[in-house]
Amino acid sequence: AQSVAQPEDQVNVAEGNPLTVKCTYSVSGNPYLFWYVQYPNRGLQFLLKYITGDNLVKGSYGFEAEFNKSQTSFHLKKPSALVSDSALYFCAVRDGGNAGNMLTFGGGTRLMVKP
């Protein structure tokens, strides 16, 4: 079975400071990893993904994430946080070696950026 863990329910950062939102995963095959953001009462918006290649992937709105195979992690980062980055962030995984197509999400991390 595949799973995703986001160990922090909430992350608080000051505007202008770097931010990190943590994610670890477990799959049998090759991991396909994704980050999404959700604003109140809305659907999820895609930020970035790792399928293969460079371990550091860049995405929308200045976000990036680093894939670490040995630590089975895919942490989301941004060098300088904005108040408008405040939202709920989800990490997700799909097993690239599985013929099935199930996409599993973590429990979400609420990011609060204070002015």
Partner 1 sequence: DGGITQSPKYLFRKEGQNVTLSCEQNLNHDAMYWYRQDPGQGLRLIYYSQIVNDFQKGDIAEGYSVSREKKESFPLTVTSAQKNPTAFYLCASTPYMNTEAFFGQGTRLTVV
- How far is Cα of residue 25 from the mean position of the Cα atoms in its chain? 11
Q: Using the rule CB under 8 A, is 49 a contact of partner 1?
A: yes
- Each residue 76-105 as x (binds partner 1 by CB under 8 A) or -, in order, gives --------------x-x-x-x---xxxxxx
Nearer to partner 1, 92 or 111 (CB): 92
Strand-strand pairing, 109-114 and 10-14: parallel
Q: Which of 13, 2, 1, 28 is nearest to 76 (CA)?
A: 13
Among 34, 63, 67, 74, binds partner 1 (CB under 8 A): 34
Distance separating alpha carbons of residues 78 and 63, to the nearest angstrom = 5
- Interface with partner 1 (CB under 8 A): 6, 9, 32, 34, 36, 41-46, 49, 51, 90, 92, 94, 96, 100-108
